Amino acid sequence: MKTLYIWNTQTRRKEKFEPFNPLDVRMYVCGPTVYDRAHIGNARPAVTFDVVFRLLRHLYGSEKVTYVRNITDIDDKINNRAKSLRDNGDRQDLITIIKQITGETIHWYHEDMHSLGVLEPTYEPRATDFIPQMITMIEEIISNGNGYEVEGHVLFDVSSSPNYGSLAQRNLETMRAGARVEVAPYKKNDLDFVLWKPSSSDLPGWDSPWGRGRPGWHIECSAMSSELLGPSFDLHGGGSDLCFPHHENELAQSKSIYPHETFAKYWMHNGMIRVNGQKMAKSLGNFFTIKDLQDRGISGEVIRFVMLGTHYRAQIDWTESKVNEAAEIVQRWQRLLSSKPDIEPVVTTNFLTAICEDFNIPKALPVLHEFAKKGDLDSLYGALKIIGLENLAIKNDTLSNQSEISSNNSGVLEDLELLLRTREECRQSRNFSKADEIRNALQDAGILLQDQPGGELPKWEVGSNFKQKKLAILRSRFEDGI
């Protein structure tokens, strides 16, 4: 097996990746807070850790890697957006608005990530499904002397954690100066962070030993990771903006409960995205969602390629020239791959050597260009599968396959049209979970979808793994509509 090296944020050095158990490799990545459409900054960690997931599956076996990427569906940003909608005329109660926001945004997120070639994680837990586990953890933190209750709030006592700051490698005075936390008179220390806070009657809330309330952000990830991966696991990832305070606080509270456990053995953080040298901001007109870019005709493959062109730990400067260059390469590789009808993926040693150096895709890209130059399309395709661009090969069979289906089997088209209409009915009625279920089932049958604005039925493509019998089974499964 090729040796993988990872830059560990906690030790600030590149280390050989040695999982606790090679037969059960486990990774946790902080996912989206679902209050609005995903922008390119939200997409970067999804793409980055999708490559990590893919490479680990290649090295250890697809059934031996567990990937958890959470969804934060209880958060003040979500609540504030719901209040804004209500203030602007939405007459529904706040709880109903919040449920609609999170349901619709999760649906959008799935569509956007699918368009970028991001695989589904093994588990995608929602914070609101793990409230009991959070309450249990908070009780243990208090019992261990690491937390305290005051005025309906429960806070973690940072002074009780002697290694606090070890992940971000900051001293307490520096952290006090830079911490983006609410300074409240009931805190023992400025850096103490919220584990539980009270909820008013119009906000989401759960009964607890400290009254009706809701969890703080940090405890959510500790509860979900320990429940699904155990108190120690191999890799924890997220954007560099999460290192402090979020990941620092996760580490402190988890170690307070499991002092003899490691929590995360390796920490990985991806860099941020700037646009033309400036920080993204709506006021500057350089704030792009994935949908914005796709509405401009920039494909998911091109968006992904731009992100892969910079090492994951470095800051990306998103520019029009990078987009144009990526589009040219993507189109060139698509044309090449379309020239060979039967491609068998081959993963070469020189490609693995490059990418196993801390997922150094920029170092690996010249290897791919050499494959393309020599016409070694099997090796090109094998590398593309690991970096998540395998659809460059699938899409080139689309027109001929659609034509063949249209001319030879009208029944297949009828099955597909019924499924697409059923899914659109689900979308219009805001039954996003079922709409996602149909999309995922179609993908498994070899049909790839690209949604269209204005309620139009999506465009569809036939992949090389198309299964006609499975499509007919899906029709009988979903033909009752919503």
For 53, counting Cβ atoms within 10 Å of its Cβ (0-12 exposed, 13-18 middle, 19+ buried), the class is: buried
Q: What percent of the chain has pLDDT over 70?
A: 91
Residues 213/206, Cβ–Cβ less than 8 Å: yes
- Which among 425, 389, 409, 421 has a CA at the least distance from the CA of 466? 409
pLDDT band at 161 (very low <50, low <70, confident <90, very high): very high
Q: Which helix (H) or strand (E) holds 402?
A: helix 398-408
Examine the pLDDT at 403 and tell me if it is beyond 80: no
Mean pLDDT for 188-214 is 93
Measure the CA angle with vertex 360, ends 355 and 361; round to 5°. Answer: 80
Peptide bond before residue 245 is cis, with ω within 30 degrees of 0: yes
Q: Which two tokens stand for residue 220?
A: 């959510």
Higher pLDDT, 50 or 414: 50
Examine the pLDDT at 477 and tell me if it is beyond 80: no
Query: pLDDT tens across 422-437, in order?
Result: 888 888 888 888 888 8
pLDDT of residue 236: 98
Residues 225/68, Cβ–Cβ less than 8 Å: yes
Residues ≥6 apart with Cβ < 8 Å to 338: 396, 397
Range in 111-115, 157-161, 168-172, 378-382 the model is least confident about: 168-172
Examine the pLDDT at 179 and tell me if it is beyond 60: no
Query: pLDDT tens across 310-320, in order?
Result: 999 999 999 99
Residues 465/458, Cβ–Cβ less than 8 Å: no
Examine the pLDDT at 397 and tell me if it is beyond 70: no
Mean pLDDT for 240-263 is 97
Examine the pLDDT at 396 and tell me if it is beyond 50: no
Identify the three-state secondary structure at position 355: helix
For 91, counting Cβ atoms within 10 Å of its Cβ (0-12 exposed, 13-18 middle, 19+ buried), the class is: exposed
Q: What is the mean pLDDT of the chain?
A: 89
**For residues 35 and 29, what is the distance between their CA atoms, to the nearest angstrom?**
19
pLDDT band at 263 (very low <50, low <70, confident <90, very high): very high
Give whichever of 6-20, 166-180, 399-413 has the largest mean pLDDT: 6-20
pLDDT of residue 105: 95
Examine the pLDDT at 176 and tell me if it is beyond 80: no
Q: Which helix (H) or strand (E) holds 474?
A: helix 468-478
Phi then psi for residue 451, to 5 deg, are: -70, 150
User: SS3 for 157-211, per residue?
Assistant: CHHHCCCCCCCCCCCHHHHHHHCCCCCCCCCCCCCCEEEEEECCCCCCCECCCCC
Residues ≥6 apart with Cβ < 8 Å to 50: 117, 118, 119, 388
Examine the pLDDT at 438 and tell me if it is beyond 90: no
pLDDT of residue 242: 97
Identify the three-state secondary structure at position 427: helix
pLDDT of residue 399: 35
pLDDT band at 449 (very low <50, low <70, confident <90, very high): confident
Q: Output the CA–CA distances (angstroms, integers) from residue 77 to 88, 99, 230, 381, in the order listed.
A: 17, 13, 29, 41
pLDDT of residue 339: 84
Higher pLDDT, 481 or 192: 192
Whole-model pTM? Answer: 0.83
User: What are 55-61's contacts with CB under 8 Å, separation 24+?
Assistant: 55/4, 55/355, 55/356, 55/359, 55/386, 56/4, 56/25, 56/27, 58/347, 58/386, 59/1, 59/2, 59/4, 60/1, 60/19, 60/22, 60/23, 60/25
**For residues 443 and 51, what is the distance between their CA atoms, to the nearest angstrom?**
20
pLDDT band at 214 (very low <50, low <70, confident <90, very high): very high
Higher pLDDT, 44 or 419: 44
Residues 36/364, Cβ–Cβ less than 8 Å: no
pLDDT band at 465 (very low <50, low <70, confident <90, very high): low
Q: Output the CA–CA distances (angstroms, integers) from residue 113 to 56, 121, 300, 399, in the order listed.
A: 19, 11, 9, 24
pLDDT of residue 479: 65
Q: What percent of the chain has pLDDT over 90?
A: 68
Residues 106/432, Cβ–Cβ less than 8 Å: yes
**For residues 310 and 272, what is the distance between their CA atoms, to the nearest angstrom?**
11
Identify the three-state secondary structure at position 23: coil
pLDDT band at 285 (very low <50, low <70, confident <90, very high): confident
User: SS3 for 32-53, per residue?
Assistant: CECCCCCEHHHHHHHHHHHHHH
pLDDT of residue 107: 93
pLDDT band at 445 (very low <50, low <70, confident <90, very high): confident
Range in 167-176, 258-267, 355-364, 455-464 the model is least confident about: 455-464
- Dihedral sign of CA atoms 159, 162, 166, 167 in order: negative
Query: pLDDT tens across 71-100, in order?
Result: 999 999 999 999 899 888 888 888 889 999
Q: Which two tokens stand for residue 351?
A: 């490609």
